[in-house]
Amino acid sequence: PADLEIPLQYGADRLGKRQDAAMQKFRDNRLGAFIHWGLYAIPGGEWNGKVYKGAAEWLKSWAKISSDEWMKLMDQWNPEKFNAKAWAKMAKQMGVKYVKITTKHHEGFCLWPSKYSKYTVAQTPYKKDILGELVKAYNDEGIDVHFYFSVMDWSHPDWRYDIKSKEDEEAMARFFEFTDNQLRELAERYPTVKDFWFDGTWDASIKKNGWWTAHAEKMLKELLPGVTINSRLRADDYGKRHFDSNGHMMGDYESGYERRLPDPVKDLKVTRWDWEACMTVPENQWGYHKDWSLSYVKTPVEVLERVVHAVSMGGNMVVNFGPQGDGDFRPEEKELAAYIGSWMKKNGECIYGCDYAGFEKQPWGYYTRKGDDVYMVVFNPPYSRHLVVKTPGGTSIKAAQVVGGKEVKVEETARNEFNVDVPSALPDEPFVIKLKIEKKQ
């Protein structure tokens, strides 16, 4: 009850999911791509002959390079193979409905010609507005663009990790003004942007300024009606992040599932709010790293399984790409995009516009649902060739058909329990069975 709650000025400003058209679109998109592209793509994890195992976009930090030194990479920013239209075509073929682009990562280099920073594409040999080219190219393919924005900015003299003095407080006040300027600039220059995904907001300097996170969200929503904002931006009056001191989610969707996913049995609470997970293909490389042999690299099927896992629990999944310094994608990423795309072309109806089905998880795979259609996405077909389906009380299965294939046999084995047969010729990739269900009374 509300009277037992802690009064908050900067807590959640809404309970439950947003139901407007823009949020609906965000949710229905389900599959997205992340693009991490910045100066870090040039060294690709190597500095002065030493290859660092950590995330390539953090190289400046691993190798303890000053910002002045790091920004000299700008002289080399001239991606001669960069072709925004080709990037958009690749995304389209992969079947992603939106792309999240790093407008500015922790290093501070801006992919757009910001008038508030010296460190932008405009001051490189390439000169042109990369972000603008990408927004146009993706939008021309019907793909939504979301902006990743790191609040923490290693290039800015006023950025502070904590506030311990009057001087820090004044510096952070200037820093917030700078950040507001950049956010306003992005919103005004690229009004088709659908979402801001904030990062670099975990430090004490932000947690002690929850007011600013609430203000930034409000400002963007006034500038861009319908825009969606991730929970990672927000801190409340007491510095509580993502969820406020009363346990209510701040922002429009939860963004804490990063390189991990909720447990499909134990964590069903996530179906109560909107959420979006993101993942890397190697263990932890967002920006381009020249040596992917340093950690396990997920196979395309493993990536696909995570996409389905997220959707089966009412979430979105964003698969990361770290383009090379020359503007091309590494072969592994091209192959991955092609694989996901060919699977989505055939089976995408079990992803787009789908949600949590409310059926008990089974070991063969995942369920998703769109209205009265329940999809079984089969990753582990059993030797018995019977897929066990336990339906919620009062729900029966009228028919089952492989997506893009034939009907399969359904047999009732017990109350609210059915065997759905795998297709007689077992596909050599994950397949989807669509169930027509009927709810009695």
Query: Which residues sit at the interface with ligand JFZ, rule CB under 6 A?
Result: 36, 55, 57, 199, 256, 258, 278, 286
Using alpha carbons only, give the angle 312, 145, 24 rounded to the nearest 5 degrees.
Answer: 45
> In terms of CB distance, is 61 or 362 closer to ligand JFZ?
61
CA separation for the pair 314, 310 (Å, rounded): 7
> Minimum distance between the CB of residue 358 and ligand JFZ, rounded to whole angstroms?
28
Q: What is the SS3 assignment for 396?
A: strand
- 13: closest CA among 273, 225, 251? 251
Amino acid at 271: T
The CA distance from 181 to 187, in Å, is: 10
CA gap 349, 186 in Å, rounded: 34
Min dist CB 282 to ligand JFZ, Å, is: 13
For ligand JFZ, which is the closer residue by CB, 256 or 423?
Answer: 256
User: Which residues have CB under 8 Å from 199's CB, separation 6+?
Assistant: 105, 106, 148, 149, 150, 151, 152, 232
* Closer CB to ligand JFZ, 57 or 185, in the complex: 57
Least distance from ligand JFZ to the Cβ atom of residue 393, Å: 38
* Helical segments of 127-209, H only: 130-140, 166-189, 204-207
Nearer to ligand JFZ, 152 or 377 (CB): 152
| Nearer residue to ligand JFZ within complex by CB, 321 or 418 | 321
As given in the structure block, the two tokens for residue 385 are 């060739």
Q: How far is the CB of 287 from ligand JFZ (least distance, A)?
A: 7
Residues 26 and 314 sit within 8 Å (Cβ to Cβ): no
Question: By C-beta, is 274 or 355 nearer to ligand JFZ?
Answer: 274
The first and second tokens of residue 350, run together, are 């079990």
Q: Which of 278, 432 has the CB closer to ligand JFZ?
A: 278
Residue 85 C-beta: closest distance to ligand JFZ, Å: 25
**C-alpha closest to that of 73 among 129, 133, 126:** 126
Select 159 or 366, whichever has its Cβ closest to ligand JFZ: 159
In angstroms, what is the minimal distance from the CB of 105 to ligand JFZ? 6
Q: Cβ closer to ligand JFZ: 82 or 286?
A: 286
71 closest CA partner among 176, 156, 177, 152: 156
* In the complex, least distance from residue 362 CB atom to ligand JFZ, rounded to whole angstroms: 29
| Calpha distance 254→138 (Å, rounded) | 25
Residue whose C-beta lies closest to ligand JFZ: 286
- Report, in Å, the least distance between residue 55 CB and ligand JFZ: 5
CA-CA-CA-CA torsion for 23, 26, 29, 31, nearest 10 degrees? -140
Residues 6+ apart with CB under 8 A from 288: 36, 37, 40, 41, 44, 45, 56, 322, 323, 324, 325, 330
CB of 31 to ligand JFZ, least distance (A): 17
